[in-house]
Amino acid sequence: MLKVAVIGASGYTGVELLRILINHPEVEICCVTSRQHEGQTINQVFPSLHGLCDLICEPLDVAAISSRVDLVFTALPHKSAMEVIPGFLDAGCRVVDLSADYRLKDQQVYESWYQTHSSPALLNEAVYGLPELYREVIPPARLVANPGCYPTSVILGVAPLLKQGLIQRSSIIVDSKSGTSGAGRSAKQGSLYCEVNEGFKAYAIGNHRHTPEIEQELSSLAGEKIIINFTPHLLPVNRGILSTAYADLVEDISSDDLIALYSEFYADEPFVRIMPGREYPNIAFVKGTNFCDIGLVSDPRTRRVIVVSAIDNLVKGAAGQAVQNMNLMCGFDERRGLTIVPTFP
């Protein structure tokens, strides 16, 4: 049994890791930490876990924890993550980091969107944990940077277009919509029920921190620098991201051909589902699962392609993908613990 710790277990990403790991046949959860809830059992923090997990929330003591576990999931805010990850690595633990701290390869880019990086040497070592693109390099990694939720939906959605050179590279516009769990469990006025319910808005237009992460990966796929428009919106639902991407096609191609091309591109992927023609993804159909559903339209009137991709932001956009990475790192079947059927309705 692989011994793991969930660092920062009292957030929505933390409890989602527990939801998946509790039923993972190869894993033993040995430690959960929470500064805010230290000394409480995790099922006091999340009564949903009564009878399922009664670990006590520990303080974040790297030395103590690293001696007891093989692999650590860090579900901390950026900045907090990089304060402890080098310690876990030095102590011989492998790490799947769900923060943004090791996703960007370029220290300068990181520092211009976030803050000074305290362990820039690790930026190169860290592997960007999107298995559909980096499956070969994840298994030996010590440190996997689990992708952001928006980036996961966007990169999987447009990767085949860029890889195949089907679109004008300066023409990508991404309009994304995320459920409210993406804003975390800390008490902020903007996340209150009455502020979100029956509302819908765009935010951080032109300056959301997931922009450079998306651009890094799209640039890598395209082999040249890609700059995009990325507009996130806040959806009044608990879970789910739906991204609608637009790009100019370089030549005519039908919706059917695009669908065939995507189906081929993702043929061996257990967690990517390409919708049949005229069917489009709905976040309701991936709820609770590690799936990324993708629908495609080629619009002959404007010669643009529209790609719609849907994920559960807490699963494929966070905890599920983290477990997928753990499975790859540890030689387990990639789908272990993740064969969850969507809960609909």
Residue 15 binds a copy of itself (CB under 8 A): yes
Site size with a copy of itself, rule: CB under 8 A: 84
Least CB distance from residue 171 to a copy of itself, whole Å? 9
Q: Give residue 111's identity as a one-letter amino acid code.
A: E
Least CB distance from residue 250 to a copy of itself, whole Å? 16
Q: What's the rounded Cα separation, in Å, for the pair 2 and 25?
A: 10
Catalytic residue among 149, 194, 292, 330: 149
Residue 26 binds a copy of itself (CB under 8 A): no
Taking contact as CB under 8 A, which single stretch among the options 97-105, 107-115, 230-238, 260-268 is the one that binds a copy of itself? 230-238
Q: Give residue 337's identity as a one-letter amino acid code.
A: G
Residue 185 binds a copy of itself (CB under 8 A): yes
Residue 175 binds a copy of itself (CB under 8 A): yes
Evaluated on CA atoms 256, 260, 266, 268, the torsion sign reads positive
DSSP string, 195-249: HHTT--EE-STTT-THHHHHHHHHHHHHTS----EEEEEE-SSSS-EEEEEEEEB
Beta bridge partners of 244: 175, 308
Residue 234 main-chain phi, psi, to 5 deg: -105, 120
Give the residue, chosen from 37, 135, 142, 233, that forms a contact with a copy of itself under the rule CB under 8 A: 233
Q: What's the rounded Cα separation, in Å, for the pair 261 and 268?
A: 13
Give the residue, chosen from 37, 105, 304, 335, that forms a contact with a copy of itself under the rule CB under 8 A: 304
Residue 202 binds a copy of itself (CB under 8 A): yes
Residue 212 binds a copy of itself (CB under 8 A): no
Comparing CB distances to a copy of itself, the nearer of 129 and 281 is 281
Comparing CB distances to a copy of itself, the nearer of 61 and 264 is 264
Report CA Rg, the chain.
Answer: 20
Helices 210-222 and 149-163 meet at what angle, rounded to 10? 20
Residue 246 binds a copy of itself (CB under 8 A): yes
Q: Burial, 5: exposed, middle or buried (Cβ in 10 Å; 0-12, 13-18, 19+)?
A: buried
Residue 273 binds a copy of itself (CB under 8 A): yes
Give the residue, chosen from 131, 157, 160, 281, that forms a contact with a copy of itself under the rule CB under 8 A: 281
Residue 237 binds a copy of itself (CB under 8 A): yes
Answer yes or no: 194 catalytic.
no
Provide the annotated active-site residues: 149
